[in-house]
Amino acid sequence: MHNVQLLQQHRIPTPPTVYPISWPGVVPSRDLSNASSIGFRPRLTEPLQESLAWENSTHFRSTSEGSNQELLAFAAEVNDARSSRTSKQYHRNPRHLREAWRAGGWRRVPWRGMGSLVNGTSVPSWTITPHVYLAVFEMLVCLLTLCALCEGVVVAFWRLLLHGTTIADVFDTFESTSFWPAAKLLIRGHFNGVALATVLSVLSLARYPLLQRSIITSDSTYTTHTAFVIIGMLIQFASIAAIVILYYGYWELGRQVSLDPLEIARAFGAPLFDGLDGNMSASDLAMQRGHVAIRYGAVERYGGEKVLRIDDASRVNMRLPWEGEVFG
């Protein structure tokens, strides 16, 4: 008798005659009088809500799982849930979408901090001081300027050879890639586009102190000094203009060129590269002649004068130059 009363008290609820449709992620309501077939509230005056299953829902449990004691315990939980539906039923608003993690350089630009560089902004309202922004931008501008200068020198050198030049001009072009030789060429009046671009690029490094000097603090407010800003920008634009000039005529080059010594030696007709395609790049030359052992030293040929050159060490007898030795 006691067992019969226990089973009646904790009996398993009977399913409805018409089973509602179950959608993925949506648990049908078991109370047909208060909810529709998919678990939504029928009254349009209430906000749209979606019923969510809790952990012990039968929709997520196997029919053969557990023992009779577990079924009795589950039946007790269902009865408690029916008696206090508000404490067990969970809802969420499906119109609210959670924000996803979205990183990115352009998307996460600190516009507020960069906007603080505007003249007359209060210092305590800044997250990052303007000197930090200036240091970062200065580093990027310097790297881009040097990269542009290197590529411009390559284009100017090969275009000079393409249109005809002298060995002295070739030497001056190589020397102009350093600051002091380039400055001496300009002082002597030997105008050289590479020398001008090199000198202006080095002088453009002075713009950072000018830009720092242009921002002063007065009563906890940063103020921009217009004169220093203009001077710094003029120096920067002058270096950029000088570098852009070096790229003139790049469309006349029929291949990718560089200042690699192998490529230059092939252009000068070095015997080491005889028989190879004259339009080879430096990487192709290294692939074709990479196995050749070379050496720079004195070469003595029978019936000829001594020369100092780079040659094939496996085919020519070479030695170190002697002190005071003269070569032809």
Res 297: pLDDT: 85
Q: What is the DSSP string of 169-206?
A: HHHHHHHTTSHHHHHHHHHTT---HHHHHHHHHHHGGG
Res 120: pLDDT: 54
d(CA 12, CA 69): 12
Is the predicted pLDDT of residue 41 greater than 70, yes or no? Answer: no
CB 272 within 8 A of CB 289: yes
Q: Which of 122, 20, 319, 312 is nearest to 327 (CA)?
A: 319
Is the predicted pLDDT of residue 224 greater than 80, yes or no? Answer: no
Instruction: Compare 160 and 9 and report the one with higher pLDDT.
Output: 160
Instruction: Compare 52 and 320 and report the one with higher pLDDT.
Output: 320
Instruction: Compare 46 and 80 and report the one with higher pLDDT.
Output: 80
Tell me how far CA of residue 264 lies from CA of 76, 162, 310, in angstroms. Answer: 90, 13, 14
**pTM, entire model:** 0.50
Q: Give me the percent of the chain exceeding a pLDDT of 90.
A: 1
d(CA 54, CA 77): 12
Region 201-210: mean pLDDT is 77
Is the predicted pLDDT of residue 3 greater than 80, yes or no? Answer: no
Is the predicted pLDDT of residue 324 greater than 70, yes or no? Answer: yes
Q: Give me the percent of the chain exceeding a pLDDT of 70.
A: 54
- Note the pLDDT tens digit of each residue in 83-119: 555 444 444 454 545 555 566 666 655 565 455 445 5
- Note the pLDDT tens digit of each residue in 119-136: 555 556 666 666 677 777
